Amino acid sequence: MNKIQNYISGKLQSISTNQLDVHDPSTGEKLSTVVLSNKEDFISCIQSSKKSQLEWAKETPLKRSRILSNYKNLIENNISLLAEIVSKEHGKTLEDAKGSVIRGLEVVEFACGIPHLLKGEFSQNVGTNIDSWSIRSPLGVCAGITPFNFPAMVPMWMYPIAIACGNSFILKPSEKDPSCAIKLAELFSEAGLPDGVFNVINGDKFIVDEILNSKEISSVSFVGSTNVAKYIYEKAAKNLKRVQALGGAKNHLVVMPDANLDQAVDGIIGAGYGSAGERCMAISVAVAVGNIGDALVDKIKLKAENLKVAPWTDPESDMGPLISKEHKEKVESYISRGEKEGAKLVLDGRNLKLQGYEEGYFVGPTLFDEVTASMDIYKDEIFGPVLSVVRVDTYDQALKLVNEHQYGNGSTIYTSDGEISRNFTSKCEIGMVGINVPIPVPMAFHSFGGWKSSLFGDHAMHGTEGIHFFTKLKTVTSRWPKSIKSGPEFVIPTN
Ligand code: NAD
């Protein structure tokens, strides 16, 4: 049985003998085990990261950029392999896994521009013969803790930029699908990254707490569920670290009566059921405004019931299984709760059995109509293929729903009215907004992050926000005073 170890100082290694099973979600079978690292593993990791960072920070940004460029080529050459590793442990379709690796690769491409991105500001003559400029310096050792749903893309929102900025990086991937992180680290070594600059440590809450308590770690980047995000934010800040902690979501897609209905339905189907709804930018609520409700529900039902639910090995699969048996049970319990709460169950994904995959963690596309804001299926993040339709009379009621929800990750509106779309863009309390676009995920050169309970901290991920998060700002004021009259000044200088 394959044992997934840590990747420290360019080597696969682990000291702890504790391990956890990793399953194939399509069959429920055990694929491998992953080490649950102990204190000794952590000490060896942190020593390696600390030592390597001191040397790495001395490399010029151009040299770092060239290594990133080699890395970009290696990822491109290994996309199929990386996608297979993701699909095998996560269960998502191969094409979807490939897409997620490409979205991560785009962050590497962005980070290749680091000589340009680290250029500071310069002002000549801020005072007479005085110049001022800014420098962005690395933080030191940075850490990232990541969720199961994007084992390539989410870590790649973090470490390429952190490392480009001159930091070393410790990644603690999800224990549910940890293999991709190891392959990504091996490829970075192959690209010429010095040993120890990118270490991967596997484990559970124990290692997360070691990271949060370590005095050697300067920053923590987290992506995962909201309760854990809050815990990370509070504990890391208490230990005086810089922190960005991205949490859960409940993304609304508002359909106005003047929307192109077929486009809206296609958007809802892909964003609601793609990756079995296990995306932080999945659409889990469709808000039908005015008289569009009946037609919207009919069209969603027709398309959703024809989706092909199958393992990733089937090239025609539209969506795969959920990540674990426990998660399948949780999603199914929400479907039962929705029925009890009085929502109308239009399509029921429970009790789906695929021949040959009876022990897999599959739940079929599920659709609720007549959902209200007081129901748990509306309030909670379910993180499965369960879509709720809420009907309202007016645009203002739709906006109120979006703004009063505890989560503020993404939201989108389908309309042909420019004034409404402009109003929505400026009034919604949401970090990432779409206009006739179902999943408004920002590209690598913009920044990814939500509002409210979807992000704790000051900075979103990647883009300029990433550069700022992974560097400290220094501002220099300078003059060369050969002919200036000497003597102390007791008044604050002004121009
Ligand atoms: P999770 O919070 O259970 O786990 C995330 C990470 O935290 C893992 O590495 C895990 O080992 C660790 N962890 C889990 N419980 C912990 C605890 N009690 N103390 C310390 N560490 C702990 O999340 P998940 O189930 O892996 O991922 C799904 C969640 O991630 C969803 O809520 C989803 O919305 C969210 N997510 C958010 C974004 C975003 O950008 N906002 C992106 C992807 C996923």
Q: Check if 280 is active-site.
A: yes
d(CA 397, ligand 1 centre) in Å: 31
Residue pLDDT, tens place only, 272-295: 999 999 999 999 999 999 999 999
Cα separation of 229 and 385, whole Å? 23
Superfamily of domain 2-247+454-476: Aldehyde Dehydrogenase; Chain A, domain 1 (3.40.605.10)
Contact 88, 312 (CB under 8 A): yes
In 3D space, the residue among 57, 2, 4, 274 whose CA is nearest the CA of residue 149 turns out to be: 274
pLDDT for 1 beyond 90: no
The residue contributing the CA closest to ligand 1 atom 23 is 224
Cα separation of 122 and 72, whole Å? 31
The sign of the CA dihedral 179, 184, 186, 187 is positive
Structural Rg of the chain based on CA atoms: 25
> Which segments of the chain belong to CATH 3.40.605.10?
2-247+454-476
pLDDT score at 493: 79
pLDDT for 495 beyond 90: no
Across the chain, what does the average pLDDT equal? 97
d(CA 440, ligand 1 centre) in Å: 21
pLDDT score at 65: 98
* Bridge pairing between strands 242-246 and 471-478: unpaired
The preferred substitution site among 35, 157, 223, 331 for testing ligand 1, maximizing ligand atoms within 8 Å of CB, is: 223
d(CA 147, ligand 1 centre) in Å: 4
Catalytic residue among 112, 165, 180, 280: 280
pLDDT score at 483: 62
Query: How many percent of the chain have pLDDT more than 70?
Result: 99
Residue pLDDT, tens place only, 10-67: 999 999 999 999 999 999 999 999 999 999 999 999 999 999 999 999 999 999 999 9
Angle at 5 between CA 202 and CA 280, to 5 degrees: 40
Residue pLDDT, tens place only, 230-252: 999 999 999 999 999 999 999 99
- Tokens at residue 28, please? 């429920």
pLDDT for 224 beyond 70: yes
Angle at 442 between CA 408 and CA 280, to 5 degrees: 45
Residue 223, ligand 1, Cβ within 6 A = yes
CATH code of the domain occupying 251-435: 3.40.309.10
The residue contributing the CA closest to ligand 1 atom 38 is 280
Residue 246, ligand 1, Cβ within 6 A = yes
The residue contributing the CA closest to ligand 1 atom 21 is 205
Residue 381, ligand 1, Cβ within 6 A = yes
Q: How much is the average pLDDT of 222-234?
A: 98
pLDDT for 492 beyond 90: no
- Tokens at residue 31, please? 């694929």
Enumerate the H helices of 226-292 as residue ranges: 226-238, 261-273
Residue 149, ligand 1, Cβ within 6 A = yes
Place of tokens 């989108």: 412
Residue 224, ligand 1, Cβ within 6 A = yes
Cα separation of 212 and 388, whole Å? 37
Contact 328, 315 (CB under 8 A): no
pLDDT for 486 beyond 80: no
Helix axes of 395-404 and 418-427: crossing angle, nearest 10 degrees: 20
Helices and strands in the chain: count of H runs, count of E runs: 16, 23
pLDDT score at 274: 97
Q: Is residue 335 very low, low, confident or very high in pLDDT (cuts 50, 70, 90)?
A: very high
d(CA 248, ligand 1 centre) in Å: 8
Residue 148, ligand 1, Cβ within 6 A = yes
> Which segments of the chain belong to CATH 3.40.309.10?
251-435
Residue pLDDT, tens place only, 385-433: 999 999 999 999 999 999 999 999 999 999 999 999 999 999 999 999 9
d(CA 173, ligand 1 centre) in Å: 10
Residue pLDDT, tens place only, 71-97: 999 999 999 999 999 999 999 999 999
d(CA 279, ligand 1 centre) in Å: 12
